[in-house]
Each structure stands twice: as C-alpha cells, then as structure tokens.
Structure 1
Amino acid sequence: MSFLQRLTTGFSASKIGTDRFGNSYYESRKSWLGYGRKRRFVLYKGEADPTMVPAEWHCWLHHVTDAPLSETKRHAWQQEHTPNRTGTPLAYRPAAPAATGGPRPATAGDYEAWTPGS
C-alpha cells in the first residue's frame, strides 16, 4: 500500500479489522451518493489477490452481515486457503496427449477420417 493511499484512506474511512492473512478492512465514514450505504473495501497485504479474502470477511464486504463473522470458529472439514495458481507453473494440467505432445490412444469408438476422392 502506498503512502498516499494510506493517507487518504485514513481521512475517508475507518478501519474495521484485519484478517488472518494480514488484509485490512475499511468502511467509509459517510454514505456514498447513489450507493445508499457506506462503502466497504479491503486493502490487501502484498499482492492484490481477491481469493485471499476469507468467507467471514466476504460476507461483511458484500453487506450480507452488519459485522464480520468470527474467524475462530473453524470446522474439521474446512481447509485452509490455497492461492489461485492459474497461469503459474503450479497450475493444474490434465494428463492429456495434447498437453504432452503424444499421439491420442485408440478408443472403441474410433473412426476413419474421410478423404476426398476415396
């Protein structure tokens, strides 16, 4: 976050809290014209990645709840967040012949392609 952004945010909004990833959440001091309510926004710690907003804070950001939900109540089936890997070397790549450059294996429903003049 730049110095100018930090300065202007301090004048126009109040800090509501911080999540376990270090992101800071703010709410504007006044209702926005045409918006009908106070604007809520997040300043990310490090690179801006919207997938790093926990569900508890997502509800608050989108005006589903008036106050952020508790982050301490975690169930055994809930997994910790993993960042979006699209476009990185860690992205999912299926084991398809097109991806590996090899020939396609034969299947029961194979056909013989039509060629002109035959």
Structure 2
Amino acid sequence: MSTIDLFLTRLTSRKIGRDEAGNTYYESRRPDPVYGRTRRTVALAKGLDSSIVPPEWHAWLHHTTEAPLAGPRHAWQKPHQPNLTGTPGAWRPKGHDYAGGQRRVTGGDYEAWTPGG
C-alpha cells in the first residue's frame, strides 16, 4: 500500500486489528454508495504478496464473516504459510529437475520422431 493510500485509509477508515504477521486491517466508516456495504482493506506489513493474509482475516476481508474468525486453534490445524511457488521451499515431485531429475519410466513416454525411421 502506498503512503498516500495508507494516509487516506487511516483518514476515512477505522482500524479493526492486526494479525501475527503484522498486517493491519481497516474498515471504512461509511458504506460504499455503489455496493451498500463497508470497504475492507489491509495494509500489508512487508512486500506486495497478499498470500501472507491468513484465512481468518481473508474471510473477513471478503465479507464472508462479520468478524475475523477467532478462537482456539485445533491440534490438526497447521500454521498459515504464504504461497511458496517460485521459492526454494516450493513442493517439487520426484523427477523434478531441481530434485535430481530422475523419474520412473512410464509406458506412455514420448518418443521423438526421426525422418525415415
């Protein structure tokens, strides 16, 4: 969020809360005249990667819930992770070039065409 956007957001909105990543969430004081509901925004703590917004706040931002989801975390719930695509932490299946490049041979493997053969 640019400095001007942040200034205007603080001027026209009220702060709702912060998450564990340091993102700050705002809700406009008056409903939007076109949509008839308040505008909800987030000031990301660092960078422009919005995948760092946790699911409980994502639901609130998109008007799925009236309040951010809160409550105890269950033992089976994993902590939120941003999108790791394109980073060293991304998942790579067996046979991926970065994971050794060896995969098992399958019956449908491509055979290159050669002229006259």
Give the TM-score normalised by structure 2: 0.76
**Structure 1 pair 94–15 and aligned structure 2 pair: CA distance change class (3 A):** same
Which structure is higher in strand share?
A: 1
Corresponding residue number in structure 1 for 2:29: 29
Which residue pairs with 1:77 in the alignment? 76
Q: How many angstroms does 1:40 deviate by?
A: 0.7
Q: Which moved more, 1:74-83 or 1:42-51?
A: 42-51
Secondary structure of the equivalent of 2:39? Answer: strand
Aligned AA for 1:90? G
> Any idea what SS the aligned residue of 2:60 has?
helix
Q: Quick one: which amino acid aligns to residue 63 of structure 1? A: H
> Deviations for 1:59-80, whole angstroms, at most 9, x for unmatched residues?
211112222221x410000011
Q: Which residue of 2 aligns with 1:17?
A: 17
Change in CA separation of 1:117 and 1:104 when aligned onto 2, cut-off 3 Å: farther
Q: Share of identical aligned residues, percent?
A: 53
Q: CA deviation at 1:94?
A: 2.5
Q: Which runs of 5+ in 2 are unaligned?
A: none
Residue 4 of structure 1: SS of its match in structure 2?
helix
Paired position in structure 2 for 1:88: 87
| CA distance in 2 between partners of 1:87 and 1:111 (Å) | 27
Instruction: Give me the TM-score of the superposition, normalised by structure 1.
Output: 0.75
Length, aligned pairs only = 116
- Which residue is equivalent to 1:44? 44
